[in-house]
Amino acid sequence: MIMETIGIIHTSFKTKEECPIQPLYSPESSGRVEVFVEYEQGLKDIETFSHIHLLYLFNRTGEIKLVRPTFLDDEPHGIYASRHPFRPNGIGLSIVKLIRREGNVLLIEGADMIDETPLLDIKPYIPKYDAISSASEGWTADKKWRPKPEGRE
């Protein structure tokens, strides 16, 4: 199947190394989601939501490995038990705070993707569907944020 870019996400992160991994670790980093004008109508009423899911393309990735150490842990984990960007199909998912809509542009906080990232989809974050506070943290439970290990992708 073929996917098309519906917009571009603009952030202050120019390289993978600068990227903060998850919005949790970059709550104040702002960004601009530019939705191409031919899709602008699809944004109607998005401003009623405080948070949105962004689905985007990891387009500056490296070798895909099905099992690898990750940012949070030196132990290797499966790619489907991780949010690592080098993955089959390369779709990124971030929940960001929607600050304001200006026409075809969404101003967001919690941006954690590289500047000029191709946008695939936007879905409203709806707590009754999406906020499952009882879910387990899995293997990440006792892992703390740390600087990205040297040489680790």
Tell the smallest beta-carbon distance from residue 51 to a copy of itself (Å). 4
**48 interacts with a copy of itself by CB under 8 A:** yes
Q: Which of 10, 34, 49, 99 binds a copy of itself (CB under 8 A)?
A: 49
129 Ramachandran zone, left/alpha/beta (phi>0; psi -120 to 50): alpha
Rg (C-alpha) for the chain, rounded Å, is: 16
The C-alpha atoms of residue 146 and residue 135 are separated, in whole angstroms, by: 23
Tell the smallest beta-carbon distance from residue 98 to a copy of itself (Å). 9
Q: What is the footprint of a copy of itself within residues 63-82 (CB under 8 A)?
A: 66-67, 76-82
DSSP 41-88: GGGTTGGG-SEEEEEEE--S-----SEEEETTEEEEEEGGGS--SS-T
The C-alpha atoms of residue 64 and residue 8 are separated, in whole angstroms, by: 24
Q: Which of 28, 63, 135, 146 binds a copy of itself (CB under 8 A)?
A: 135
Q: Which of 133, 146, 147, 151 binds a copy of itself (CB under 8 A)?
A: 133
Site residues, a copy of itself (CB under 8 A)? 1-4, 6, 22-24, 35, 39, 41-46, 48-53, 55, 57, 59, 66-67, 76-83, 87-91, 93, 95, 118, 120-140
